[in-house]
Chains A and B, each alone.
Chain A
Amino acid sequence: GAVVSQHPSWVICKSGTSVKIECRSLDFQATTMFWYRQFPKQSLMLMATSNEGSKATYEQGVEKDKFLINHASLTLSTLTVTSAHPEDSSFYICSATPRAGLMNTEAFFGQGTRLTVV
């Protein structure tokens, strides 16, 4: 199957600093990628939809100025957590769908990034 790679797998940062997470589709192009957040023992919550060449679409309650998304190419989307605080500590997961212009395609997920803000 298609491969989606996230980097880093885990990161620890100090409160007030910013952290960038990369999501790459390694063997396909993805005009659309999705960013999810998973709290311990909970489900994946969609944060935003990342569209190549245009602004991301954020879900209700997600601060766009805090979670900056850039989708600069067909194989790379980045999520930057700005001025991170301990409550931003979570597991962040991206997904991408090959041939996003078509229906009935499976989404592939990155391995996730564990962010710990101290």
Chain B
Amino acid sequence: AQSVSQHNHHVILSEAASLELGCNYSYGGTVNLFWYVQYPGQHLQLLLKYFSGDPLVKGIKGFEAEFIKSKFSFNLRKPSVQWSDTAEYFCAVSPNQAGTALIFGKGTTLSVSS
């Protein structure tokens, strides 16, 4: 069965610090990879996605993620976080097949202090 593991449950950073959130998945076939963000009281928003091609993916709000196939990883990074980045971050995976659901990691709470 597919699974997604996010290593950090809660990350606390000061503004301007660099961020890296780990995500590993288990699935033997080709996958689509996603990072979603959920701000307090709001619904999920897509940060970035990887389907194929360049393994370094740039998303919105200065976020990027790198797909390392050999490590089954898709870590999220941001060079300098802002207070407004405080949110819940979810890594998600789906097999590269039509009509399949996303499998989510447990999420990482990011708290950024100003």
Q: Using CB atoms and an 8 Å cutoff, list the residues of chain A in contact with chain B.
A: 1, 31-32, 34, 36, 41-46, 49, 93, 95, 97, 100-104, 106-107, 109-112
Residue of B42, B44, B97, B107 near A42 (CB, 8 A) is B107
Main secondary structure, interface of A, reads: loop
Q: Please give me the 7 A-B residue pairs with the lowest Cβ-Cβ distance, nearest first.
A: A111-B43, A109-B44, A104-B51, A32-B99, A43-B106, A44-B104, A34-B101
Q: CA–CA, A97 to B46, complex, Å?
A: 13
Q: Using CB atoms and an 8 Å cutoff, list the residues of chain B in contact with chain A.
A: 32, 34, 36, 42-44, 46, 49, 51-52, 90, 94, 96-99, 101-107, 109
A51 to chain B, nearest CB (A): 8
Q: Once the chains bind, are A95 and B102 in contact (CB under 8 Å)? A: yes
Using known A-B contacts A103-B96, A104-B32, A104-B51, determine if residue A46 contacts B101 with beta carbons closer than 8 Å.
yes
Sample 18 A-B pairs with CB under 8 A, ordered by A number.
Answer: A34-B101, A34-B102, A41-B109, A42-B106, A43-B104, A43-B106, A45-B104, A46-B103, A100-B98, A100-B99, A101-B99, A103-B32, A104-B32, A104-B51, A107-B101, A107-B102, A109-B43, A111-B43
